[in-house]
Amino acid sequence: MSLLGIRHLPREEIEDYVARARVYQKAAVSGEPVPQIEGSTCLLFFEVSTRTRISFERAARRLGLQCTYIAPSTSSISKGESFRDTVATLDYEGLDCLIIRHPCAGTAHQAAEVFSGTVVNGGDGCHEHPTQALADLMTVLSRKGGTEGLVVAIVGDIVHSRVARSNAWCLTKMGAHVRFVAPATLLPKDPSAFPVEVHDNLAAGLADADVVMALRLQRERMNGSDLGSLTEYTEHFQVNGTSLALAKEDVLVMHPGPMNRGVELDSSAADSPGSTIHEQVENGVYIRMAVLAKEFEKLRGDA
């Protein structure tokens, strides 16, 4: 039970989430109702969020689940209660599913130790963001028809990115070749811990790529020495018409959002025919429906 990350998920489970999400996508297009689930979810978010929060809320409501949202300023943590005690309280309240977003890596795992229902990781620090990676995978599969042998360049602030980590695990399990492309200060300290190729040069990193995924500079997680100059970063690492010319002609341009136009990518890339930014958001809802439905099946003992 619980979806805490992609790293330890077998490929068959990843494929099962996407297959289920496709059923929800078809139902949304045809207007068919989807089976409703009785139960309660609670979004416990300790970081700001637009798309992930709305996406989980829409997914829960489409499945008929009750859904409450707790922001950091309105939780008892602001009165000094520990994270574990807050989670335990939500357990005593009888909630079935906790969806957690937190600035510290490992908090979703901690919550799962205390909570007797199911926990879904909505992003924990620089660690994992499993539902984003699954939505991105669904997007690549629908545009490219498969992932085997695809070259995927993830470009930008990798060291602070849970999206980069979850995508690296997910896409390599699905047979893609993943590259981390960033200035040396924005690469993980030990890149060999990931199943990826590493480039600190954009031209080499983008050469013949099938997919380019741009990431935001996560200034809220940086310390002073991580980024020399923004102008220099943009000049050397921006995903734009010039840099994309090095990738394959039918390259997909992805971004998990929120994007800073004119920094990690320019408008010609963000609005190009190969851009999948809107699809990633839409697929996020279907994937989160699939994840919630599966978690509730496990919780009720049907899976």
Question: What mask of x and - would describe binding to ligand NCD in positions 253 to 272, judged by CB under 6 A?
Answer: ---xx---------------
Our finding on whether 132 is near ligand NCD (CB under 6 A) is yes
Residue 276 and residue 270: Cα distance in Å, rounded? 8
Our finding on whether 53 is near ligand NCD (CB under 6 A) is no
User: Which of 53, 102, 162, 199: binder of ligand NCD (CB under 6 A)?
Assistant: 162
Q: What is the edge-to-edge ordering of all strands in the sheet holding 252-254?
A: 197-199, 177-181, 151-155, 211-214, 252-254
Q: Which residue is nearest to ligand NCD (CB)?
A: 216
Decide whether 207 or 263 has the Cβ nearer to ligand NCD.
Answer: 263
Residues binding ligand NCD: number (CB under 6 A): 11
Our finding on whether 5 is near ligand NCD (CB under 6 A) is no
User: Which of 163, 202, 265, 293: binder of ligand NCD (CB under 6 A)?
Assistant: 163
Our finding on whether 131 is near ligand NCD (CB under 6 A) is no
Our finding on whether 51 is near ligand NCD (CB under 6 A) is yes
User: Which of 66, 172, 185, 218: binder of ligand NCD (CB under 6 A)?
Assistant: 218
Residues of this chain that interact with ligand NCD (CB under 6 A) are 51-52, 123, 129, 132, 162-163, 216, 218, 256-257
